[in-house]
Structure 1
């Protein structure tokens, strides 16, 4: 029997079946049961994971429909089958937050990515898509980009709300998504405390080298506002500008802001979930 706290929550397979009636969703195979997730991580993380996903599932169909409707011709939605975090991945993240003592909630339960053909298409595409989503009733929470020298990851991220649920939208070019794919295994080494320090340093250096080879999108340095909110600058693996945490699911956006375009400050613990 599952723990009593799990009784009213759906099994992952049932939630997955509901979410795949209109579009495929990759949560891995085989899917663990809710009891297995509770045993692998902890009961609290399993309960919160399934509760968050059940709530997000209420709006996922509309979110996905709105997103696909506003993506212009010639721009690719990327990995739509990964648009919602899996129960086991979310429970793992919540358990890590608990163990670290950080009071945080994941911001990427619902996450979508578009890929534009060229870097110079990036800013215009982001502006158009945010405007079109706002016209559908979405509200803008925050935005940031990491196109700065020395950042081991470069991209443009926006966070919006649809029916109260936080949605992450990443905007990439074909070359930046290729570099993101190539640096993901290096990033896993760099953030793994079990790896030798020399290996982690080398992995970070390789990420930075690959990212520094990306072309700078036209207009990104001048992009100080998007959808009515300031655009912050982040330097991954070296520092950030603005709030240390992105807005969390179920939490209001922070009011404290730093000026867009300010020089990034050093924060070696700064990172990004892939």
Structure 2
């Protein structure tokens, strides 16, 4: 099985299921897997409304495969001209960032370890359903690098500056209950209930009309970067589009 094959996609009506499938390594990630994730986002069917991301085995994802970090990739990136190196990292980021698209509702179902790139993948999703045994870590800084897959912005949004900085600098593990209190988790359930709870959340999200759900997500995503007046204007424009859609105009 190639690394690309370790990202499995199944589509059931409006729901796409993405499973990381390297259970022997706790679903450690590689650039080939990121290429596959980026391709999935690019090729996803237009009728898909919800994306559920899971990991096979006891953990969601242990992060970047240590063999990659110890291999040639860091040196290759360091040797590239700065612009080219940043462009390559931008390709890695695109593997996760499409999960924030306004037309999609995305859920990470997390059990066991979600570390580094694993945590950043979960953070890229709109919702995180955590099993009681989930442990979240962002250890990149302790290894001499930084989180670069979109995780820093999401940590700030969800936990605030001080907690985000503490998690990044110490690399310590956050329990599921602590994650819930800090806003990193949407819900925490017993491990045996993880699949059912994720299914229930998916059904609840799909009950909202797609056009209105897309408009609402777009409004919320942009709220922190707009002025108060700009946000009011965006709400007005979105409402007019919704009303016209309901009227068939």
Indicate whether the TM-score tops 0.5. Answer: no
More helix by share: 2
Instruction: Report the TM-score when normalising by structure 2.
Output: 0.29
Instruction: Report the TM-score when normalising by structure 1.
Output: 0.27
